[in-house]
Amino acid sequence: MTALVDVIHRAKGGDSMTNTKLLEDAIARSGLKKGYIAARLGVSRAGLTNLIRGRAEFRASQMTLMEELLKLTPGEKDAIFFCKGWCIKST
């Protein structure tokens, strides 16, 4: 894996609750292109990147659609979008 992976601690009221690493893995497993996912979410490809990297927050409707598109289990959805404590973030 060529991507640099940083482990970040989400302080109270701090960084995004999205587990970037798990989300990137789920997208890769799905075989879907990020451009397609972005279009389905109603955002640009850059907007999707911002969501994935935690620079923007997913809306509830977007989380539900991601769950459907990526065929996530409820547990996977929670692990990705409601990361508590230590989260893994790709840079």
Q: How far apart are alpha carbons 7 and 34 in whole angstroms?
A: 24
Lowest average pLDDT, out of 35-39, 46-50, 78-82, goes to 78-82
Q: How far apart are alpha carbons 83 and 30 in whole angstroms?
A: 21
Looking at domain 5-90, its CATH superfamily turns out to be lambda repressor-like DNA-binding domains (1.10.260.40)
Q: How far apart are alpha carbons 20 and 35 in whole angstroms?
A: 17
Summarised one tens digit per residue, pLDDT across range 16-38 is: 688 999 999 999 999 999 999 99
Tell me the mean pLDDT in the region 71-83: 91
pTM over 0.95: no
